[in-house]
Amino acid sequence: MTDPVLSGSRGVPETVRQAVEAGVRAVQLRDKDATDEEFVAMARILGPICASAGALFLVNDRVRLAAACGADGAHVGQDDMDAATARTMLGPGAVLGVSVRTAEEARAAERAGADYVAANMVFATSTKTDLPGPLGIASVRELRSVVTIPLVAIGGITTENASEVLAAGADGLAVVSALMASPDLPGDVGRFFALLSYYSKTWK
């Protein structure tokens, strides 16, 4: 997941390029402060970078702009848009991810046609300030048990704690700081994938 501040002088496009060349399989454009015009302009830079590496390109929240961005799909939170409405807007062929914190939200997202759900803020992180607190590992296990679609863990995920969420049943890892601000991005991508391989998890 992108962050224009955390990417620093390297910038978002170069950070994304290094990430997908190192093996990252999905990129989500996330920029809460960008105007729609700025958001679409960045998307039109990142989309081809992702496509050249065979990585999915998703937009965060702004479902109405997904087509203009040339995105493969979108990711929405509970306060952004109803998952069923997002699915209708995106159409059946696009990827739809939904952030969830409870079993009820996870089941509802799957029924609405989500392709994956994201356990929203497993560990504390400065990139998410609008949530009451971290879910913890027990919630990852619970969410895994109530849906059949892939479960992605997000929130404070690092190479040091990723094994905990993978062991709890997460199928994928969504990270911001750990890659956007990484001084050794290819190396950290490799470390994440070593853990994913160990737990026999793959992005679908």
**Nearest by Cα to 99 from 77, 121, 73:** 77
Please tell me the predicted confidence (pLDDT) of residue 127: 65
Q: What is the phi/psi pair of residue 7, to 5°? A: -70, -20
Q: Which residues are catalytic?
A: 30, 99, 128
Please tell me the predicted confidence (pLDDT) of residue 200: 65
Please tell me the predicted confidence (pLDDT) of residue 203: 46
Please tell me the predicted confidence (pLDDT) of residue 133: 80
Q: Is the pTM of this model over 0.95?
A: no
> Which residues of the chain fall short of a pLDDT of 50?
201-204
Please tell me the predicted confidence (pLDDT) of residue 204: 39
Structural domains in the chain, CATH included, are: 8-198 (3.20.20.70)
